[in-house]
Amino acid sequence: MKLRVRFQQLPILFDADKLAQEVAAIPESAWRPHPQGYPGNDALPLITTNGDPDSDARAGAMGPTPHLLACPYLMEVLEALGATWGRSRLMRLSGEAEVTPHVDTDYYWRDHMRVHVPIVTQPTVRFCCGDEQVNMAAGECWIFDTWSLHSVHNDASRSRIHLVADTVGGDGLLSLIEQGRSTGDDRPEWSPRLSPPRLGQSGGGPVPILAYESRNTPVTMTPWELRDHLGFLMNEVAPGQPLIGPVGQALNRLRVNWHALWAQHGDAAAARPAYATLLERTWSTLQTAGVDSLVLKNRMPLAKCLRALIFEPALADSGSAMDSDAREAPRETSGGPNRAAAPPPAPAIVSSLSRDPEFDRPVFIVSSPRSGSTLLFETLSNAPGLATIGGEAHGLMESIPQLSPAVRGWESNRLTAADAELSTVALLRERFRAAIRYRDGAPPTPGPVRMLEKTPKNALRVPFLAAAFPEARFIYLYRHPRPTLASMLEAWSSGGFRTYPQLPGWTGLAWSLLLIPGWRELAGAPLERIVAQQWSATTRILLDDLAALPKDRWLALRYESFIASPQTAISRLCEGLDLAWDRQLGASLPLARHTLTRPSADKWRAHAEVIETVFPLVERENDRALALLGESDRSLGLGTQPNGSPTRTLSSSTILAPDPT
């Protein structure tokens, strides 16, 4: 966003040491290379599309990643700034590295400002913008003119880490900007106020509630937005360029004709070919008029900025001749043609007596932690006609305040039908609908879509999901507890599965995996007991919830059978769910994304001694699960072997168990 000054410091100060402690608790594996590939630059996603930590997209419904949800003071910082947040990250610049000079000209940056809060820094870090430079001290808060040439230089050997948050603004942030000061403003009475941590270790005080973007790109740009961008760019043209006359005439004709089309058709899909033709015709005229020779006051080419602000985003998926990586030609998929459409209106809860107009029998994989659900999800997501968000929906769900454990007293991840309030369900369904894609990346077309979802915490949410999605189908994935407990022990110890690192009232290793009811009673317990209670509580709740559902709404699958015969298991699973399957799987499957070490039937033996001491805690629920599957522990060869591994493979007739009878 273009500002009237190069730099503006806001009158607010944060506890950089506390922020640095939270950042240090995030595993190093969460950091990703900078999307532009700047050497020595990497980023850690905090707010992304649907809270997906693997996403770097700037368009789409935004939500917090698990990394942000695990950092209460970072959330307090964003809340104190009083804005609606878009893509936001931690940005790390290694010693003696730089962000090379550039100007942010994309559509995204026309109305987004970038807020910087230095967390780890030193006096040698120089932030340059236009003809000015500053050193942003730890804990300070700054915005700057992204429309001017800017760069960052770290001359020291120590890395620099900033909170970098993008926003279109908000009333609170506007008030801070009005009270801010630019470089050279040495008013002696000006001083930023400290905004210290509020929650602390005890978890007292109100939980931060943040506002996130849900609409940030046009399907068909309105004539009023187009007029605003044109006026802005024409005012930015450097003076003394003779070809500005014919270029201006062509752009004015675009403005008038675009408004005429809008007055006749609005954003109707049927009018998109006419809008696309107008864009293509105007661009051809502009090139003939010499637009490529014109430059702006910030030394950027006018043609590049016209494409970025108008010709590329004005018509989503228009199929025009504009050559852009941001748009693709329409294509046919298993889910239908990829026609761009506005997100559907927020639905009401669908009556169980009628068909769901948006979600046709969505499929939810549920299991105890570390039971192989990621491998099943990644395999089944290749079924034609199934759409997914591409990963787990932690941020997508928990960024809705009513679904966050933080605003529910940190009791657990448990949700029941009583939590399926109309507004909550409407927002959840809208977010899923906006985020899902078919296996080739195409979005769903209007009308019912079959969705596949796998988030481990959903094992505690079956009644809620069954109410929010009245046609939902559930796959219960069972894996014997001995190797499962071993994997849970490794997950906790690795630090890579920390869901709530700052869980109020919890000490020791940061809380990992799903949050079960009664977790407070486990404070100070040995890790093997914690994971055994996690497995037992999750399995007990899950079996109770499945038993309460109609028999045609769930199926069960043994993990051991799945990996022993993937093609047979998936084929029969798809048959039971009325899904097609068009791929031939090999005898073994690729490693799932959350695999810690390569699987082995004997790998769990490294933890055999401690697992046997807590096995009585899981035995009752394991017997229930096996009874549900129609198998006894002895017939599986489990529990009678010293290592707890199966001695035989189930036949295809026992892979699926549709109900507990």
> What does the pLDDT look like over 244-278, one tens digit per residue?
889 999 999 999 999 999 999 998 888 889 999 99
| pLDDT at res. 395 | 84
Q: Is the pTM of this model over 0.75?
A: no
Q: Which of the 8 DSSP states describes residue 123?
A: T
Question: Token pair for residue 382?
Answer: 């290749």
Residue 658 pLDDT exceeds 80: no
Average pLDDT in the 516-520 region?
Answer: 95
**The token pair that represents 332 in the structure block:** 């046919």
DSSP 3-state assignment of 13?
A: strand
pLDDT band of residue 585 (cuts 50, 70, 90) is: confident
Separation of alpha carbons 644 and 565, rounded Å: 20
d(CA 329, CA 339): 9
The answer on pLDDT for 47 being more than 60 is yes
Q: Which of 278, 197, 165 is nearest to 13 (CA)?
A: 197
Q: What is the pLDDT of residue 345?
A: 36
Distance CA 8, CA 145 (A): 9
Helices of type H across 220-352: 223-236, 244-265, 272-289, 302-306
d(CA 385, CA 553): 19
The whole-number pLDDT of residue 99 equals 84
Going by their DSSP bridges, the two strands 160-169 and 113-120 should be labelled as antiparallel
Which pLDDT value is given to residue 596?
Answer: 53
* Banded model confidence at residue 391, pLDDT cuts 50, 70, 90: confident
Which range is least confidently modeled, 283-297, 349-363, 462-476?
A: 349-363
Task: Compute the distance between CA of residue 32 and CA of residue 557 in angstroms, rounded to an integer.
Answer: 35
pLDDT in tens, 218-243: 889 999 999 999 999 999 999 988 88
- For the ranges 316-320, 433-437, 636-640, the maximum mean pLDDT occurs at 433-437
Whether the pLDDT of residue 370 is over 60: the answer is yes
Whether the predicted pLDDT of 653 surpasses 70: no
H helix or E strand, kind and range, residue 117: strand 113-120
pLDDT score at 38: 65
Distance CA 334, CA 195 (A): 52
Q: Taking residues 528-535, what's their average pLDDT?
A: 96
Contacts of 93 (CB under 8 A, 6+ apart): 40, 41, 99, 125, 152, 154, 159, 160, 161
More confident residue, 603 or 27: 27
Question: Who contacts 257 (Cβ-Cβ below 8 Å, separation ≥6)?
Answer: 278
Mean pLDDT, range 575-582, rounded to an integer = 92
Most confident range (mean pLDDT) of 8-17, 149-158, 209-218 is 8-17
Domain boundaries, the chain: 7-200, 223-311, 363-654
pLDDT reported for residue 201: 41
d(CA 598, CA 151): 43
- Split at pLDDT 50, 70, 90, the class of 41 is confident
pLDDT digits (tens, 9 = 90+) for 545-568: 999 999 899 999 999 888 889 999
Of residues 337 and 518, more confidence is placed in: 518
pLDDT-based confidence at residue 599 (cuts at 50, 70, 90): low
CA–CA distance, 421 with 13 (Å, rounded to integer)? 38
- Indicate the pLDDT class of residue 76, thresholds 50, 70 and 90: very high
Residues whose CB falls within 8 Å of the CB of residue 280, separated by 6 or more in sequence, listed in order = 320, 321, 322
DSSP 565-596: SHHHHHHHHHHHHT--------SS-PPPTT--
Is 220 within 8 Å of 261 (Cβ atoms)?
Answer: no
Q: Measured on CA atoms in the order 26, 27, 30, 31, is the torsion positive or negative?
A: positive
Dist. CA 504–CA 520, nearest whole Å:
10
**Token pair in block for residue 154:** 């770290």
CA distance 637 to 462: 30
Which pLDDT value is given to residue 302?
94
Query: Would you state the pLDDT for residue 607?
Result: 84
Q: Smallest Cα–Cα separation from 307: which of 319, 291, 293?
A: 291
Q: Which long-range contacts (CB under 8 A, 24 or more apart) does 304-307 make?
A: 304/105, 305/105, 305/233, 305/236, 306/233, 306/251
- The more confident residue out of 38 and 622 is 622
Instruction: Evaluate whether 48 touches 65 at the Cβ level (below 8 Å).
Output: yes
> Of all residues in the chain, what percent carry a pLDDT higher than 70?
85
Q: Give the pLDDT confidence score for residue 98 in this predicted structure.
A: 81
Angle between helices 527-547 and 616-629 (to 10 degrees): 30
Identify the burial level of 170 via C-beta atoms within 10 angstroms of its C-beta, where 0-12 means exposed, 13-18 middle and 19 or more buried.
Answer: middle
For residue 307, pLDDT beyond 90: yes
Name the more confident of 347 and 75: 75
Residue 346 has pLDDT above 50, yes or no: no
Architecture of the domain delimited by 363-654 = 3-Layer(aba) Sandwich (3.40)
Tokens standing for residue 475: 């796959």
Which of 36-45, 164-173, 237-246, 267-276 has the highest average model confidence (pLDDT)?
164-173
Query: How confident is the model over 428-440, as a mean pLDDT?
Result: 89
pLDDT at 316 over 80: no
Query: Residues 6 or more apart from 178 whose CB is under 8 A from it?
Result: none
| Rounded-to-integer distance, Cα 180 and Cα 115, Å | 13
Instruction: Using the predicted structure, report yes or no on whether residue 108 has a pLDDT greater than 80.
Output: yes
Query: What is the overall mean pLDDT for the chain?
Result: 84
The region of weakest confidence among 172-176, 178-182, 214-218, 278-282 is 214-218
Backbone angles phi, psi at 475, to 5 degrees: -110, 115
What DSSP string describes 419-472? G--HHHHHHHHHHHHHH-B-TTSPPPPSS-BEEEE--GGGGG-HHHHHHHSTT-
Inter-residue contact 49 to 55 (CB < 8 Å):
yes
Per-residue model confidence as pLDDT tens digits over 80-102: 999 999 999 999 988 778 888 88
User: Token match 């129609």: residue?
Assistant: 630
Confidence of residue 652 (pLDDT cuts 50, 70, 90): very low
- Give me the helices (H) in 147-271, please: 171-178, 223-236, 244-265
319-335 confidence digits (pLDDT tens): 333 443 333 333 333 33
The topology under which CATH files domain 7-200 is Jelly Rolls (2.60.120)
Q: Is 80 exceeded by the pLDDT of residue 193?
A: yes
